Structure 1
């Protein structure tokens, strides 16, 4: 069990008090620079491995408190939201996961929480989760669609990949920085496992029938160039492609 917290706390408020005591000011200052969408007062500075262990211990040893915490929305701190997501990751049923996640989605206000989504679901449950991802990706809330994209990228780029997933990602309604970064990240990751599907999109989205914005396309190319999993030859083509795009849109 986690040495840092009493998992037998009796309420969500008591759990919050214990979390406050775990905060590290230097880490809080560091994280504040990573999540500019959050105020300094919303951060405690708790390490992710510590939160992950707390989530596992609560789930195993005090499920009533875990359930009470999940119901206690909105949370006060970013770390509470992270703990919330890490608790949901303990679920192993797609419908239960989606049902528990959906009330939480509107309360996500930064990439750190959205990107922590990662339940370990077996293949048959991932197949049942897929329609939910399509719905979340079509949501106008930046971090709801980002959760959908993170889950799609983490679980559906090999045997469960389908070309229509590219349409879902390209059509994300929110066209802000964090959405473009998600689109670029997804495509750069998919380029490794599904190159035959991704290269046409990067070379000419319109011809490929994928409505990808210039911003997202450039993010995808940049992420691919930065990747250690992309060959030197492919990076040469990507750099030339990036230069051509910038030249057309200068």
Structure 2
């Protein structure tokens, strides 16, 4: 399974897929007051999985063993029972016909979409962070100080705080393309602020205002 987790909004609540179209059945079932094992224990489900696995194995000769259901324990975005895309829609039908149709649409988007946009956004955010670290290192060196690892970590947390309000780290592999673009824009602005000699507190205040201005522009664009 792909490690990148992608949350989709279904009627105001998140339903989690990964980039390969697998669905987190635990998350999906919870909103309907059910659990995946109820569906997996049905004789019709067992028969379907057995025949599907057999059919897929025929066209998978010489390759790795077919896996259609996997469970990950813990308390992370990866935790729960995950179903292969070929099982996801059938499972969704058991929950709700409307949800089945919606899931089919999301999976089709995931398995057919060109992921270059996300990859480009991820690459740009990585380049932006490297530039930010270089600017921070130069600023410290010009002040006669030695840049330490925690300086770079805190600057990344500052970027996140400007966006989320939380001075904490975030796994960028789990951010959407839109979120990655926002991160890159703020990194560029932070580099400019460092170049102007702004201290940490001043950069924080300026970045918060910048995020607010970006949000206002986005809201005005949506209303237009």
TM-score class, shorter-chain normalisation, is: under 0.3
With normalisation by structure 2, the TM-score equals: 0.24
Structure of greater relative contact order (alpha carbons < 8 Å, 6+ residues apart)? 2
* Bigger share in strand: 2
With normalisation by structure 1, the TM-score equals: 0.22
